[in-house]
Amino acid sequence: MLQFSPPKMPFDWNVSEALLHVGATLTSGQSFRWRQDEREIWWGVVDACVLAVWQEQGIGDRGQGTEEKTGVFWQTFPEPNRSDIFADYFRLDVPLEALYQEWTEQEPEIEEATRAFRGMRLLRQPVRECFFGFQCATCNTVVKIERSVRALAARYGDEISLPFDAPFVLHQFPTVERLATADEAVLRADLWGYRAPRVIALAQHILSREPNWLASLRSRSYSEAHAELTALHGIGAKIADCICLFCLDKDAVTPVDTHIRQIAVRLFAPQLSGKSLTPKVYAEISEAFASRFGAFAGWAQQYLFFAELRRATFFKK
DNA sequence: GCTTAACCTGGACGC
DNA sequence: GCGTCCAGGTTAAGC
């Protein structure tokens, strides 16, 4: 029996006992618009739906005896109780316990990360938001990416009205039509920098394709989706893989960035130390992760990536 | 096939 | 206060 006391709100909470670490999931660098209010409630937007999620800090910390408590309280707006949206977005169907065991057998070093972030999941994000959000990620910091993506949504996205005073003004992500006619100078002012013209050009390109082209990539194979994305000006292998992994259900994909490269060198590819991240090296690292961790290698790399990110941030402070 | 520079910007850091 | 470096990359040119 769960014994949590979620904050009193002018709505009823639903509760889920799924294995889910909300904080790790929403701060691991895969999505950019979630915010936490002073009551520690997370507020996010999934298409036209607002999601409010609360979980007591540190799942399991409250455990008395051996029972682990993993209660996650949630609600959707303006239409309440959309358990389908909640479960789909957080991908509650993926059996984490079995994956942890498989991964640890392959690479013992991952065990520490799976313990530290137990319940962290990859999200199934709306494709449009994920596609444009990661345009901002090139040579940037997570804090600035979040600032820029939020600014883009606030400027060009429709506000979602709620039947109570929410702690934040929440917007839908802008439509492709709005982005295609966005003002480059305005985007630059919102810190998009040299990425601003790319966003507009990519939106115009999407409009020139068949309707629903972007969303249709979810039903294509990884190699097809990757090829379609990297054919676009401004999208290289890494950004394409982020899009494939975080919104197109390509769970075996490992986007190789500076952090993942360091992990690969440390764990299983010391011969790549000091080498530039050429397409050949990129493919070598990506395939090494896939061969070790299998169909959910992208999930495994997220645990190692997040642990590395936290370590790097810690040592900088 | 690899290396390099340019592209924006703000925060961290050293002086 | 100021200069430099770096951050979840991509592209094109030069070798």
pLDDT digits (tens, 9 = 90+) for A134-161: 999 999 999 999 999 999 999 999 999 9
A51 burial type by CB count under 10 A (0-12 exposed, 13-18 middle, 19+ buried): buried
Note whether A15 and A3 are within 8 A (CB). Answer: no
Show the DSSP H helices in chain A as ranges.
Answer: 22-27, 83-89, 96-106, 110-116, 127-133, 142-156, 176-180, 184-189, 196-208, 213-216, 222-230, 237-247, 258-267, 279-293, 297-316
- Closest alpha carbon to C1' of B4, residue: A276
Give the 3-state secondary structure percentages of chain A, helix then strand then coil, rounded to 5.
50, 10, 40
State residue A60's pLDDT score.
43
* A234: alpha, beta or left? (left if phi > 0; alpha if psi -120 to 50): left
State residue A70's pLDDT score.
73
State residue A268's pLDDT score.
87
State residue A64's pLDDT score.
39
- Residue A43 — φ and ψ, nearest 5°? -120, 125
Side chain identity, residue A97: E
Catalytic residue flag (residue A144): no
Query: Which nucleotides of chain C have an atom under 7 angstroms from any protein CB?
Result: 7-12
User: For chain A, which residues score pLDDT lower than 50?
Assistant: 58-67, 317
Helix (H) or strand (E) holding A51, with range, is strand A49-54
- Closest alpha carbon to C1' of B6, residue: A194
Task: Please report residues contacting nucleic strand B, using a CB cutoff of 7 A.
Answer: A 139-141, 143-144, 188, 191, 193-194, 197, 275-276, 278-280, 316-317
Peptide bond into A78 cis (omega under 30): yes
Cα separation, A187 vs A200, in Å, equals: 9
Instruction: Write the CB contacts of A173 (distance below 8 Å, at least 6 apart in sequence).
Output: A45, A47, A126, A128, A129, A132, A153, A157
State residue A310's pLDDT score.
81
The CA distances from residue A223 to A202, A217, A218, A292, in Å, are 20, 10, 12, 19
| Spacing of A170 CA from C9 C1' in Å | 29
Nucleotide whose C1' lies closest to the alpha carbon of residue A193? B8
Task: Please report residues contacting nucleic strand C, using a CB cutoff of 7 A.
Answer: A 28-30, 137-142, 145, 194, 230, 232-240, 242, 255, 257-259, 312
Cα separation, A94 vs A244, in Å, equals: 17
Note whether A161 and A78 are within 8 A (CB). Answer: yes
Global pTM? 0.94
- Residue A223 — φ and ψ, nearest 5°? -65, -35
Catalytic residue among A8, A69, A144, A238: A238
